[in-house]
Chain A
């Protein structure tokens, strides 16, 4: 806060200050309102606007895909983005500043959870209408949310605990296969396990339990490597966890009853947007609370100096094992969702390439930071999707970006910050008046 005040007191000049002035005083809920409004405009008028701009369709993913394939449409896309997103967001946010601040102040008095639920409700509403226009957006969004869960969970190990673990795709595979086995065995008629053992109609309601089951299997797998490997640190743990990844992959490849290398397919279609969104929110909420708890502080202590932590009565062994299993659990849940979004899993999906992706996301976004993980996962997923038309050049641009981030911000974009929902949802006007 101190730093913030100092900055604000400096005389403001130029475009940057002007922008800051424009955006100051709008609370989070105001932005959510305006995004919701913009999405509604796209929902009802998007087709019309895109038609008059000469675009073939409503641009998905903000026109990246269209622009990269047909550069002649760039003016049309820019016009569309301004008309549908830029202008409405600015205008609504500006005009609703006062009521939004009042609402934010009102919510600020109540418990954080209620405020958060209302914010998330608006956010979900916006996403619901946004994805309703295109199933492709829906799929990309779902996979992005799963990427957020994976990145967050690996951040617990690689960021908060400061170890370098490579076994995340292995945990994900355990979760994916665990959850798929449960749903296929109990609620689906398929060729691997035969007829459903329980009524198919119940399946959707039991799906969260299947996800938890998958997560628990992954946590069990984590325990198996945690016990022998926490005698070592640093590079050795990295190697052991890498070995674990290969063991899981070969195990699944050789287990014929779960499909072997051919994989498992036709999982029931349970992972819809509300389900994925709810699980992701729970994941962020719980992990955020975990890392801000005494446990999280103990983890940081272990990372910075294990011996000192031990002296300060931290049970380092227990702390490490719990954090490791906790992270594996969420990776397993994410894997379960992944299997049900794609409705197909094969062991080949959980190899080194997946590991590289997850690691890129966490190091791009920033270590030891929930916000960083979300930023990293979203930007890498959306970027790699948006740049797909570039084919091989995509694999030059994204690594180049990573190198640049590592050069200029060695710990990632937003590292070592605390994610505080209460602070985030605060009314903004008051703060300016106070100064």
Chain B
């Protein structure tokens, strides 16, 4: 017993002496920003883009010597948490960042299945949160502390319907979507409503669906082909887009195929190849032919990480810049985390005409931005070219 006691006492003395900053008591005021990203799981590419954009932002802040609030500079720390692309992990990550790391504001999670439950946590703890990529209205609905960095599907659907009508003058459209996935299903419905509003009911001549991870679409595509549709709208993710487009061309489909912002990943063209050249989709920004700050961001990202950033990275970048502006505008960092979070939330809600790389933004009452959509054309060299901008 004595030996044990002695051992423990000596051990403690050593540990105390060695413990980092045991000699510098006191905790500094650090502005902490949480990132909730799907680094592992189904969509690691999205998590990677989020992480890289956040690192670039932190680099900028550190270069400037911290974030300036009320004439004083505070150091900034990023808390990056992996949500494994699962709902409960996103909730855990948010709870941890809010209660343990005491972040002032959270950026993320990206997909709606995580942003909806995680937004609930952030709102309950009165912590401002911006989800850069979630398009589900529920993420921000009735949640004064939750904001969003992108436009919503009820806006994107009509934008595409109008664009196709004006550009091609078609009257009959077909839709092919994944019935088991939240985003494609919602967008397909909004597109159908918008299209039928312009061309009358029955003008969506084929409304075909499949289930996540299906790889053979020939039966749906043959139906679409025989229905007499002039254009095919498919709001799918990059891996399915490649399959759908290739199979449609094999079956003899010659009309245009139009997509939504989920096409915006760099992988789409890599997987799809020549089949996708010349097609259109709506997006948050276009990488090829970008100007000003957008080009600067793209070039820097490409130089550091070796590939063109997709829309997630750009939206995360904008969200972080919004956060930065809100913190700067909040007037003062008191060190009282509750007060600071409240001040940041108020500052965030008041931001007007924020000049982002994905367009100008002003938040509505619900915390959704009013911003323009971009129609992108995939060029003959496989680049995403700016074609047209559509504003609300």
Residues of A within 8 A of B (CB): 22, 51-54, 56-57, 60, 65, 70, 72-73, 75-76, 78-79, 82-83, 86-87, 134-136, 139-140, 143, 249-250, 253-254, 260-263, 265-266, 338, 342-349, 353, 385, 388-389, 391-392, 394-395
Within B23-79, which residues are at the interface with A (CB < 8 Å)? 24-25, 27, 39-40
Picked from A54, A134, A345, A388, the residue with its CB within 8 Å of the CB of B21 is: A54
With the chains together, A78 CA to B14 CA distance in Å?
11
Q: Are A250 and B211 in contact (CB under 8 A)?
A: yes
Binary interface encoding of chain B residues 294-334 relative to chain A, with 1 for a CB under 8 A from any of its CBs, else 0: 00000000000000000000000000000000000000000
Contacts of B98 in A (CB 8 A): 135
Which residue from chain A places its CB closest to the CB of B184 in the assembled complex?
A261
* Given A52-B25, A53-B16, A56-B27, A250 contacting B92 (CB threshold 8 A): no
Q: Are A385 and B92 in contact (CB under 8 A)?
A: yes
Q: Are B179 and A253 in contact (CB under 8 A)?
A: yes
B138 within 8 A of A: yes
Q: Are A388 and B20 in contact (CB under 8 A)?
A: no
Contacts of B113 in A (CB 8 A): 263, 346, 348
Binary interface encoding of chain B residues 265-276 relative to chain A, with 1 for a CB under 8 A from any of its CBs, else 0: 000000000000
Within B118-156, which residues are at the interface with A (CB < 8 Å)? 120, 125, 136, 138
For chain B, the count of residues having a C-beta within 8 Å of the partner chain is 48
11 extra interface residue pairs, beta carbon distance < 8 Å, beyond A261-B181, A262-B182: A135-B95, A143-B92, A260-B185, A261-B179, A265-B116, A342-B87, A342-B117, A353-B86, A385-B92, A388-B82, A389-B82
B198 within 8 A of A: no
Residues of B within 8 A of A (CB): 4, 8, 11-12, 14-16, 18-22, 24-25, 27, 39-40, 81-82, 84, 86-89, 91-93, 95-96, 98-100, 102, 112-113, 116-117, 120, 125, 136, 138, 179-182, 185-186, 211
Contacts of A392 in B (CB 8 A): 39-40
Picked from B87, B96, B136, B181, the residue with its CB within 8 Å of the CB of A349 is: B87
Picked from B18, B39, B120, B125, the residue with its CB within 8 Å of the CB of A75 is: B18
Q: Are A76 and B88 in contact (CB under 8 A)?
A: no
* Given A260-B185, A263-B113, A78 contacting B92 (CB threshold 8 A): no
Q: Are B86 and A349 in contact (CB under 8 A)?
A: yes
Q: Most A CB atoms within 10 A — which of B89, B92, B100, B179?
A: B100
With the chains together, A253 CA to B184 CA distance in Å?
13
Q: Are B19 and A75 in contact (CB under 8 A)?
A: yes
Q: Are A139 and B91 in contact (CB under 8 A)?
A: yes
Which residue from chain B places its CB closest to the CB of A138 in the assembled complex?
B95
Q: Are A135 and B86 in contact (CB under 8 A)?
A: no
Q: Are B19 and A73 in contact (CB under 8 A)?
A: yes
* Given A136-B92, A343-B120, A79 contacting B19 (CB threshold 8 A): yes
Picked from A60, A72, A353, the residue with its CB within 8 Å of the CB of B20 is: A72
Which residue from chain B places its CB closest to the CB of A344 in the assembled complex?
B117
Contacts of A250 in B (CB 8 A): 180, 211
Q: Are A57 and B117 in contact (CB under 8 A)?
A: no
Contacts of A82 in B (CB 8 A): 8, 11-12, 15
Top-3 shortest CB links A-B:
A344-B117, A76-B19, A79-B15
Q: Most B CB atoms within 10 A — which of A143, A260, A388?
A: A388
With the chains together, A391 CA to B80 CA distance in Å?
10
Q: Are A254 and B16 in contact (CB under 8 A)?
A: no
Chain A min CB distance to B12 (Å): 6
With the chains together, A65 CA to B81 CA distance in Å?
11
With the chains together, A140 CA to B20 CA distance in Å?
28
With the chains together, A51 CA to B125 CA distance in Å?
25
With the chains together, A394 CA to B182 CA distance in Å?
28
Q: Are A262 and B16 in contact (CB under 8 A)?
A: no
Picked from A140, A338, A344, A395, the residue with its CB within 8 Å of the CB of B116 is: A344
Q: Are B8 and A87 in contact (CB under 8 A)?
A: yes
Q: Are A134 and B180 in contact (CB under 8 A)?
A: no
Q: Are B120 and A266 in contact (CB under 8 A)?
A: yes
Contacts of A79 in B (CB 8 A): 12, 15-16, 19
Q: Are A342 and B179 in contact (CB under 8 A)?
A: no
With the chains together, A346 CA to B185 CA distance in Å?
14
Q: Are B15 and A253 in contact (CB under 8 A)?
A: no
With the chains together, A70 CA to B21 CA distance in Å?
13
* Given A136-B96, A136-B100, A346 contacting B182 (CB threshold 8 A): yes
With the chains together, A79 CA to B40 CA distance in Å?
33
* Given A87-B8, A260-B185, A139 contacting B95 (CB threshold 8 A): yes
With the chains together, A94 CA to B18 CA distance in Å?
30
Chain A min CB distance to B188 (Å): 12
Q: Most A CB atoms within 10 A — which of B20, B39, B179?
A: B20
Q: Are A143 and B179 in contact (CB under 8 A)?
A: no
Which residue from chain A places its CB closest to the CB of B117 in the assembled complex?
A344
Q: Are A395 and B117 in contact (CB under 8 A)?
A: no
With the chains together, A270 CA to B199 CA distance in Å?
48
Q: Are B22 and A391 in contact (CB under 8 A)?
A: no
Picked from B12, B93, B138, the residue with its CB within 8 Å of the CB of A265 is: B138
